[in-house]
Amino acid sequence: MSDLKFCQGTECHMHKTQDRIKGTKGNKTYQTRRRSKFYYGNGNFCSTWCQNDWFNTYGDRAIDHFGRTTQAKHLTEQNAWEKDYDYDWQSRTESNWRYVNSITKEQRPLTQAQFNDTNYTLNINTGE
């Protein structure tokens, strides 16, 4: 039982579903869902409903706490490289691994090893 965790939704117990009713006869209550695993909001919420409830309650404070975006961020040419490749469905083979700059549309060839290397990048880390 110790591996179970509670949904963090602020109103989880207010959503009247049959699985939330717990307790003995005459002493039943709707309760916050408790599961070994949740699939929403990084595993913190039982549903998008509960995730939205949490955000409606705490979202503004969370954004203010971690830093509100007050001006446009920019994806520059230096950081617009995206890996791409061609896939042939008939032969089920990959080919033409490449970097494509989503701003300039310039293409640069990649080896398959470079494509698969998650540390290999043409993008310049801006520390963003």
Site for Zn ion, rule CB under 5 A:
7, 9, 12, 33, 46, 50
Question: How far is Cα 114 from Cα 128, in angstroms, rounded to an integer?
Answer: 24
Q: Which lies closer to Zn ion via its Cβ, residue 8 or residue 81?
A: 8
Q: Which lies closer to Zn ion via its Cβ, residue 53 or residue 81?
A: 53
Q: Which lies closer to Zn ion via its Cβ, residue 7 or residue 110?
A: 7
Provide the minimum distance between the beta carbon of 13 and Zn ion in the complex, in angstroms, as a whole number. 8
Q: Which lies closer to Zn ion via its Cβ, residue 5 or residue 98?
A: 5
**Cα distances (Å, whole numbers) of residue 62 to 7, 14, 54, 66, 69:** 18, 23, 11, 6, 12
Question: How far is Cα 56 from Cα 95, in angstroms, rounded to an integer?
Answer: 46
Q: 29 and 21 in contact (C-beta within 8 Å)?
A: yes
Provide the minimum distance between the beta carbon of 65 and Zn ion in the complex, in angstroms, as a whole number. 23
Provide the minimum distance between the beta carbon of 50 and Zn ion in the complex, in angstroms, as a whole number. 3
Q: What's the maximum distance between 2 C-alpha atoms anywhere in the chain? A: 70
Provide the minimum distance between the beta carbon of 7 and Zn ion in the complex, in angstroms, as a whole number. 3
Assigned token pair, 52: 């939205």
Per-residue DSSP letter, 125: P
